[in-house]
Structure 1
Amino acid sequence: MCEVCTASGQGRRAFLALAAVGLFSARTPAAEPAAQAGAGPDAALARLQAGNAAFVAAPALCAAQLGEQRARLAMHQAPWASIVACADSRVPPELLFGGLGLGQLFVVRNAGHLPDAATLGSLEYGCSVLGVPLIVVLGHERCGAVAAACAVVQDNARFPGFIGPLVDAIVPAARAVIDQPGDFVDNAVRENARRTAHAIATRSAAMAQAVAAGELRVVAAYYDLDTGQVDFL
């Protein structure tokens, strides 16, 4: 069920309760971080899990109140979770985590959810400036970028243009799981998500310090295209 829809009818009181603790309130980037407003790492993760469960049980899309949300958030934002996702068109984070509205997720996407400089810089901004307490690296079933890396490992495949370096960055994850039982691509997707999560938590000094202080949590996850379910690894 779309989160905006639950704000009406019998879900109205629950929506108001969330607003009371600041999850839906407007804040400037210099204002109170999300972690101090009742949306710490564990609470944010639980909210994503609940949203995905709702998406699996009764997926719905609702465009109601988007104009109101846009007006309220035009000058500031206070997202409560960052999602590093693949660019795959079948994996829209706002929808698969329960039909979330504007200003709630800070999303960074590229093919294979690679931890390049642009991704790490964006996440540092989310963590250090916006106070986002949770980062989820979202791999997904039948990822084309990971499948290409597996083809490099198995068949010595080569890819043209800028696709080649992108795929090459995923090859170490594929090599690490080639001898594991089960589906090669599926195992590589999970390993690639874990490696990206580790890179985020260690390569950035700012985010490493936030993790050590308990202000930030970085987790890997896997999205099943067939069922719509997200499993946190």
Structure 2
Amino acid sequence: MNSISRLFIPVFLFLGVLQCKADWQILFNGKDLKGWSGDPRIWRVENGVLIGETNDSDKKITTNSFLIWQGGEPADFTLDYKSRVVGNNSGVQYRSKVLNAATWRVTGYQMDLHPNAPYLGMLYEEGGRGIACQRGQRVNLNEKPEETGKLEVAEVKLEEWNSYRIVVSGHVLRHYVNDKLAAEIDDVNADKRSMKGVIALQVHAGPSMKTEFKDLKIQIETK
């Protein structure tokens, strides 16, 4: 191999890596619910913030309800967003399945936004295996989770704006809270794991709640 060939091979490899990542895509335009589907009683936009809110009267719900992104079913990606929640818990679904589009019901992986500290940022499988990985854990997930390691966590106030990130590649799922790895999951169950699916935002049945989102964006792997 001559010196020119040796020079260009690393360049081609570098370009190949670059081509595996698409540009960041904005999921929420800050103006309205274009590109999303959800219960219009519950979801609205105010001052550039996407809001889901329930109460005990005109916005009461008896089952969890979701605002579903209509942009496809991504497989491997990085999803960034900011959120704050008051009242009952919320969450972000990914690689999920729509059970009933008319009633906005979704099942699958969820990054939980929960007032109970061990549950904030955990992996919860909606309609499936339930609590799969609490914040501060590394797990192998089969029928039940098996802890393989610990992660250092910091105090987080759910009712304040925090930044969150979901990174999924193959069957490894990682959740970040304020740029700190909060949960890492290797879903080793080939029959039950999900490799692609919808993204959705949750409002939880039960006590009145308000969940807010902004700066939602996704970078999808294109390899």
Is TM more than 0.5 here?
no
Q: Which structure is higher in helix share?
A: 1
Q: Which structure is higher in strand share?
A: 2
Q: TM-score, normalised by structure 2?
A: 0.27
> Whose relative contact order is higher, 1 or 2, with alpha carbons under 8 Å and at least 6 apart?
2
